Chain A
């Protein structure tokens, strides 16, 4: 069974979600991840969107293209105004897991989705936080899903939009951050976690990917687990669900022509 690297990222991330948890979902790969988990091993996963929608239904038959898409609101279990959603639900400690991506991620899992270059004189300007910073501050844990390229994994990010483990061991406590911070980084090459000092290390390599390739795509000397494993491949049923049910228009997955 063939699969794409996006499908592998989705299935690897979905395995990180547990039945009964509440997830703060972003559009794109995080949404596919949550919908896959909810369609398989985690039917009681509750989906919350920053638009204030809680208990969103599994999106099938044409994916939502915005976190405030009407498809997410119809048939949800509740809709909060935005301040209430961010304050009561997210800040109130009611989110188990969030998802973040970004232009740059450093060894502590700090994320830049704001700017490359100087803040006041940007080379490249990105959208900025949206709800990302508060997810990073308040979610029980968060996953980072991003392509693995050297420019995306620099030694130091140009701007911290969303705090990870900040400056290492105890960094989150020193900054008064209530959430647990980044738990997992899933790229198109590997699955990474954070050690007790808050530093990223490689736990698993995707099938066919070498240590050298991962190191080459990372801007600092990346530690590897003593017993580096291999990421489990997507099953045919998972691939079928993603392609035929969850993203039939192939908006977020890039399936090569047969």
Chain B
């Protein structure tokens, strides 16, 4: 486990040809990690994500991807699928997060009450049916997903990688626990005492984490609940940008290749844009964890 910077975490933690999960369901998407992978020229990755949207559009356009595994395709991926240029594997959201859960729990498969009556199993051989040994009921199952690398972003983490989030948790816990290597990016590196003051809030235990990177505004244009809002201006424009391969490349030239790191990206965004994304404060009521001898 090491506390390091994004460039080092990516160069040490990720290799060509690996299976990668950038976690976060709309919330806490580690864009800065994806951008660094693009700058470092990673290739032949299998990109897995429930909702591959802007960050995977960018990684696909940059040539990082050999295959994409998903359960809801954004506009850019839909174009790529129509063009037939990429290998893919498709699930439903419940199927995808069940694969991560099976991976995190080290199970050979998980039964799911979904896919029945749908055409998806006919096109994805990994979705199979088993008979319950107890009552003979037939049920669909999905295999574990154990990404080579998962990147998760958190509100705060200590130097051991104990990471806390609030707001929508999404699939980040299982995505981290299922992975061989975990890069934990955080808005703020905090003292261990902060984590210990509110243990229920811990999403990812430090024991699962390989690299800790303090990276403010890592998730922009997605959001970090309570710190900065989803950049609707970006997302409203993105479908148009992603409607052509060239459009995405132009974006990369300006916002990824055109900056050295997230700090330069944030400077380029500008103070006004960040102020527009700042929510009002709305503190949770503190809990009394009790002090015990």
Contacts and interface: CB of A to CB of B under 8 A. Distances in A.
Interface of A: 50-53, 65-70, 73-75, 79-83, 86-87, 90-91, 110, 114, 119-134, 136-138, 159-163, 166, 171-172, 175-178
Contact of A130 (B93, B113, B173): B93
A136 B93 CA distance: 13
A172 B33 CA distance: 44
Contacts of A126: 73, 78
Contacts of A74: 167, 225, 282
Contacts of B117: 110, 136-137, 160, 163, 166, 171-172, 175, 177
Interface in B127-159: 137-139
Q: Which DSSP category, helix, strand, loop or mixed, fits chain A's interface?
A: loop
Q: Which DSSP category, helix, strand, loop or mixed, fits chain B's interface?
A: loop
Contact of A161 (B50, B112, B118): B118
B236 to A, nearest CB: 8
Given A90-B94, A137-B117, A82 B81 contact: no
Contacts of A178: 113
A138 to B, nearest CB: 6
A239 B119 CA distance: 40
B120 A129 contact: yes
B81 A81 contact: no
B279 to A, nearest CB: 7
Interface of B: 25-27, 50-51, 70-74, 78-79, 81-82, 84, 90-94, 97-98, 100-101, 112-120, 123, 137-139, 167-174, 223, 225-226, 229-230, 232, 235, 279, 282
B97 to A, nearest CB: 4
Nearest to B91: A129
Contacts of A122: 81-82
A82 B25 contact: yes
Contacts of A132: 92
A226 B79 CA distance: 45
B71 A176 contact: no
A69 B91 CA distance: 23
